[in-house]
Amino acid sequence: MPLARLMAREDTASGRMTRVLGFALGFAGAAFLGIEFPAILEQMAGNPWWWLLPAIIAIPGMYAAMIIASVWGSARAVRLICGTYPVLYIPVIAALPLAFEPHQLPPITMPWPLLIGSGTIITASFVLPLRRLVPIAVIYAALHAIDTYWAQDGVPVDWAIREGISIAMIGVIFAAMIRSVQANAALIDSESEVLRARAGERVRETAINQERDRLDALVHDTIVSTFVAACTGAPAHKVRESALGSLETLDSLARSDSDTEPVIAREAIARLRQIVGDVREDFAFHASVDDVGATYPLEVVRMLQEVIAEAARNSIRHAGQDARRGLLVRCGSGSIFAMLADNGRGFDPARVPPRRLGIHTAMRGRVALIEGAGLEIDSAPGEGTTVTVTWSGNDD
C-alpha cells in the first residue's frame, strides 16, 4: 500500500471514530506503562536483549505508533497497526518464560508485558469481527496464566488461571464495545451516503426544472413573435424572416440539449442569468464575453447551473433578507468563470459539518465530477460570502 494512500485522511464517521479509538487505546497503553515505569525498567534490566528488543517494538512501540497515526489523521494506518499488534505481541508473551527467571517476581508484581495484555484482544477488534476474537482470547488467557505462574513467586495455579481468564474477558468486553461503536459509525456513513445521493438528485431535478422553464419561455417568446408579425399585417418577407428565425432558434435549442453539442457563450450566460432570476429577482447580474465564439461542454454548463443555483439558495436562506447579492460571469476561450457574492452574515467554511449536504454534495461533490472544474468558497462571520466556480478546458 503506497504511503500517501495509507496516511490519507478518511473523512467519514468510521474513519473519525477509528482515529479517536486508536488514540484512546494508544494513550491508555502508554499510561499503564508510564505508571509502572520504574518497575518496568528494573525488570528489563534482567531480560535478554534478543527478547527485549522485539518486546519493546511490539508493546510500547506499537502503542506509540497508534497515537502518532491517530494524531496524523489516518484511520487506515490505525487499523494496520492494530491488526499487526497481536501478531507481534503473542509471540513475545509466548517466549516470556525464556526471558524471566522462574518465581522471581513478588506475587503482586506482574511481568511487564502483561500489564496491558487485554490490549491484544482490543486491538484485534479494529480489524476482526467479534466471533473471530474468541480464539485470540483463549490463546491469550492460557499464555497469561502460564506467564503469571512462571514469573511470580507463590502464585497458585488456580489463581493464575483465573487471572488469565479475567484479563481476557476484560479484553473481549472492550472489544465488543469497539465493534458496536464501529457498527454505528458505519451505519451513519451508509445513511449519509443515501442522503447525499438524494440531495444530489434533488439538485439535478431542480436544475432540470429550471432549464425546462427557461426553454418553455424561449419557445413561447419565439413562436409568439412570429404570430404577432403575421397578425399585425407585417410584410410577407418580414413574417418569413421571423418564422425562419424561430425555426433556427428551436433547432439550436434542440442541438444544445444534446450531450454531444457544445453550448455557446451567450447561451451559457443566459442559463446562469435564468438560474439566479428563478431564485430571486433582485440578484445583480453582470457578464462579459472575451470570445464570442467560445463554446463549452453541456455537462460543464449544467454543473455551473447546479452549483450557482445552490449558492444562490444558500444566500437567500442564510445571508439575510437585506443582503445585496450579485452574479458575475466571464466567458473566455476554453474557460468560464462564475462568481456569486453577497454581503450578508457570512460563515466559517471550515466549520461546516459533513451532514450539511448543500456545500459538501451539491457544490463540492458536483464540481469534483467535472475535470478542469474548481470551486472556492470565501467567507467569514460578518463578512459576507463569495462562491467562485471555474472551468478550464486547456491542457496546460
* 275 & 135 share domain: no
- How far CA 12 is from CA of 17, 200, 360, in Å, comes to 8, 18, 12
**In terms of C-beta distances under 8 Å and separation of at least 24 residues, what long-range contacts does 218-226 make, across chains too?**
218/249, 218/253, 219/250, 219/253, 222/246, 222/249, 222/250
**How many structural domains comprise the chain?**
2
Contact by Cβ (8 Å): 105, 155: no
Q: Which of 151, 172, 195 is the last residue of a domain?
A: 195
Question: Which helix (DSSP H) or strand (DSSP E) does residue 283 occupy?
Answer: none
Report the alpha-carbon distance of residue 319 to residue 216 in Å, rounded: 31
Is the pTM higher than 0.75? no
pLDDT 10s digits, 174-189: 999 999 998 898 888 8
- How far CA 21 is from CA of 29, 238, 352, in Å, comes to 12, 77, 23
* 94 & 176 share domain: yes
- In the sheet that holds 373-379, the strands lie side by side as 284-289, 325-332, 335-342, 385-392, 373-379
Residue 156 falls inside a structural domain: yes
* 267 & 365 share domain: yes
Return the minimum-mean-pLDDT range out of 198-212, 230-244, 312-326, 343-357. 230-244
Q: What is the mean pLDDT of residues 111-124?
A: 91
Report the alpha-carbon distance of residue 355 to residue 303 in Å, rounded: 21
Q: Which CATH number fits the domain that encloses residue 352?
A: 3.30.565.10
Q: Which domain holds residue 294?
A: 263-396
* 189 & 301 share domain: no
Share of residues in the chain with pLDDT > 70 (%): 79
Report the alpha-carbon distance of residue 207 to residue 247 in Å, rounded: 25
Q: Which of 153, 179, 195 is the last residue of a domain?
A: 195
337 bridge partner residues? 330, 390
Confidence (pLDDT) at 354: 62
* 179 & 278 share domain: no
Report the alpha-carbon distance of residue 361 to residue 356 in Å, rounded: 8
* 143 & 31 share domain: yes
* 308 & 180 share domain: no
Residue 8 falls inside a structural domain: yes
* 177 & 290 share domain: no
Q: Which of 141, 162, 195 is the last residue of a domain?
A: 195
Residue 269 falls inside a structural domain: yes
Q: pLDDT class for 258, splitting at 50, 70, 90?
A: low
Confidence (pLDDT) at 396: 45
* 174 & 321 share domain: no
pLDDT 10s digits, 118-154: 889 999 999 999 889 999 999 999 999 999 999 999 8
